[in-house]
Amino acid sequence: MTAATYQRVVLASRPRGEVQPDNFRIESAQLPELADGQVLVRNHYLSLDPYMRGRMSEAKSYAASQAIGETMIGGTAGEVLASKHPKFAVGDKVVGMLGWAEMGVADGATLRRVDTTHIPLSAYLGVVGMPGMTAWYGLNQIMMPKEGETILVSAASGAVGSAVGQLARLKGCRAVGIAGGPEKCAYVVDELGFDACIDYKAGKLAEDLAAATPDGIDAIFENVGGAGFDAALPRMNAFGRIALCGLIAGYNGDEVPIRNMRYMLTSRLTVRGFIVSEHMDLWPQGLGELGQLVAGGKIKYRETVAPGLASAPDAFIGLLKGRNFGKQLVKLI
Amino acid sequence: MTAATYQRVVLASRPRGEVQPDNFRIESAQLPELADGQVLVRNHYLSLDPYMRGRMSEAKSYAASQAIGETMIGGTAGEVLASKHPKFAVGDKVVGMLGWAEMGVADGATLRRVDTTHIPLSAYLGVVGMPGMTAWYGLNQIMMPKEGETILVSAASGAVGSAVGQLARLKGCRAVGIAGGPEKCAYVVDELGFDACIDYKAGKLAEDLAAATPDGIDAIFENVGGAGFDAALPRMNAFGRIALCGLIAGYNGDEVPIRNMRYMLTSRLTVRGFIVSEHMDLWPQGLGELGQLVAGGKIKYRETVAPGLASAPDAFIGLLKGRNFGKQLVKLI
């Protein structure tokens, strides 16, 4: 073991409104001695995900806020450099929650060894990882679409949304996405195979939604909230289901009032918020299915890769503004 | 059979905003000849319920709108005057949907004979009828509260809300109501036995809700929507359930935007809109339980009785403004 110090990104201050670069600070840290049961991991990829915005605030959310001065939380994929845990050997590829750091020490129990023979390491942070499981859970446990039904998913070109639509298509559903800009929409339809994609930046959400969902909407996977969600509610069919996964439109503290709540009543909708990490019992099943679909080429995905640890803050800010295209990663090695 | 004509209230015009007396018209109608399978019923009581407001509009709702010039829809309780149906005899007490009329002819299949030995006829339009079943369904099928949990119900002194809170108390829950004015709140606590009641007219909803729900809220029965609902969302505990039964705050077309929708996500809530008439399979069980509880004095109820058919429009307008106290009825005989 050579590296006694490593670089990491810590939370320097809590954002007021939009996240700014100076909310983060890069600093050096000392590696601790490896204790029994621990593993030293060099991270190859960091995962950047919208939920991290919530952790940066003090406001009540589903998870405790991130402490000032501590390493930014986050999923990571890397390689074992040293192990005092019987289940991990040097060279193993592992996924964990080491945060925005070049390396780190983790309890072996918090790591998962992954097989990169047929699936690239980075995909374990995306479609075969937490985002893929998020899509799988929301679709199968909340939306429960039947063949022939229409589903709508916002942030459709993103890590979660792209999986939702493709999984729904495999079930015989009509999959309609919402994304920002013609390039993303073309990708969602031409590459991912959605039946339609609505560009929310085109400024005619209601009209475009009506055209794309001639038989109404039976289930929504909501990542964004705000105007798109509000416009979709009146198009819901009776007994529709809404998986509430994210409300990125409001993550900076902007108010995003919902005016069409009455359709939750008149269309007898079921709306359920969820956090995939609370349903770990289903991960083996879900990740198994997703892994097979990815290895078999049945599900496509796209990544936006920012180079080097220092690029993480800007890449994260871009993610919150929708500048990424597919899964946002930071590549360290 | 003597009466060949009877009086009825028809929808004269659709309301624009608030319902006005001239949206209704009283007129005489001819009784048809009784065909096989039909029953002639003289109504003793008309039920007035908020859902009728939706039927008066053309806007999309869960039920077809009421046609102009036709008898206002509604539940009724009365007595059989003549029968060509083998299951009904003259003098039987029956509940049906004969609308705002002194009498009418109904298919026997749409009528239910009721036993008034231990339960007054009018209660079959309230706590042992559709409103009671609405409470029972929302509580047992959606809110599913466990002993020791806190439930919140709006319009707590009304026909539905008063049953929700009392049923929840019988399950060992803390029941908190929202009602309009100190008199209704006193009734909800002192007579119905709720643990607390918040007067929404006092103008400090958030503060009063916090004081009344020190352990947060585990389930809501929502009849009203608007500011009260919005103020309750931040107090929901993780995995809370919301039965969405009515949004009376918006029935006149006023916008009632929800600003706190993010709590549906962060507290992983389940929100479900429902209409009790779509769950007829559960009515025998629910009405059986409610009937026993009412006959045994375990559930109390209160009625506001308007005298005579001509009083129905004003009584209905009052109901929409919360002027009633408990179940709003019109007494014809």
Q: Are B233 and B226 in contact (CB under 8 A)?
A: no
Task: Supply the range of the domain harboring residue A150.
Answer: 130-277
B315 and B199 assigned to the same domain = no
Confidence of residue B111 (pLDDT cuts 50, 70, 90): very high
Residue B285, C-beta contacts closer than 8 angstroms, at least 6 positions apart: none
Q: Do B262 and A274 touch (CB under 8 A)?
A: no
Q: Residue B158: inside a domain, yes or no?
A: yes
| Count of domains forming chain B | 2
Same domain, B122 and B143: no
Q: How crowded is residue A304: how many other Cβ atoms within 10 Å of its Cβ?
A: 18
Could B269 and A267 be called an inter-chain contact, meaning their C-beta atoms sit closer than 8 Å?
no
Domain finish residue from B243, B261, B277: B277
Q: How far apart are CA A219 and CA A149, in angstroms?
A: 8
pLDDT for B60: 60
| % chain A with pLDDT above 90 | 89
pLDDT of residue B1: 45
Q: Do A244 and B264 touch (CB under 8 A)?
A: yes
Please, where are the H alpha helices in B174-250?
182-186, 205-212, 227-232
Residue identified by tokens 């909501």 is A222
Within 8 A of B245 by CB-CB distance, chain A residues are 265
B121 burial level (CB within 10 Å; 0-12, 13-18, 19+): middle
Nearest residue of A to residue B61 by CA position? A266
From the list A247, A264, A275, the residue facing B273 with the nearest CB is A264
As to burial, measured by CB atoms within 10 angstroms (0-12 exposed, 13-18 middle, 19+ buried), residue B175 is buried
Q: How far is B119 from chain A (nearest CA, A)?
A: 32
- Alpha-helical (H) ranges within A23-101 are 51-56
**What ipTM did this prediction achieve?**
0.89
pLDDT surpassing 80 at residue A253: no
- Under the banding of pLDDT at 50, 70 and 90, the label for residue A235 is very high
The alpha-carbon gap from B42 to the nearest alpha carbon of chain A, in Å, equals 32
Q: Is the pLDDT of residue B318 over 70?
A: yes
Q: In Å, how far is A271's CA from the nearest CA of chain B?
A: 5
B-chain CB neighbours of A227 within 8 Å are none
For chain B, percent of residues with pLDDT exceeding 70: 98
**Ramachandran quadrant class, B193 (left: phi over 0; alpha: psi -120 to 50; beta: rest):** left
pLDDT band at A315 (very low <50, low <70, confident <90, very high): very high
pLDDT in tens, B2-12: 558 999 999 99
How big is chain B by its Cα radius of gyration, in Å? 20
Q: Search chain A and give the residue with CA nearest B222.
A: A265
Could you tell me if A236 and A325 lie in one domain?
Answer: no
d(CA A25, CA A29): 12
CA distance A49 to A33: 30
For B125-166, write each residue's pLDDT tens digit: 999 999 999 999 999 999 999 999 999 999 999 999 999 999
In a domain, A292, yes or no: no
A229 within a domain of the structure (yes/no): yes
Q: Are residues B148 and B83 in the same domain?
A: no
* B260 and B327 co-located in one domain: no
Flag whether B287 is in a domain: no
Whether B259 maps to a domain, the answer reads: yes
For B34-61, what is the mean pLDDT?
A: 91
Q: Which residues of A touch B234 (CB under 8 A)?
A: 60
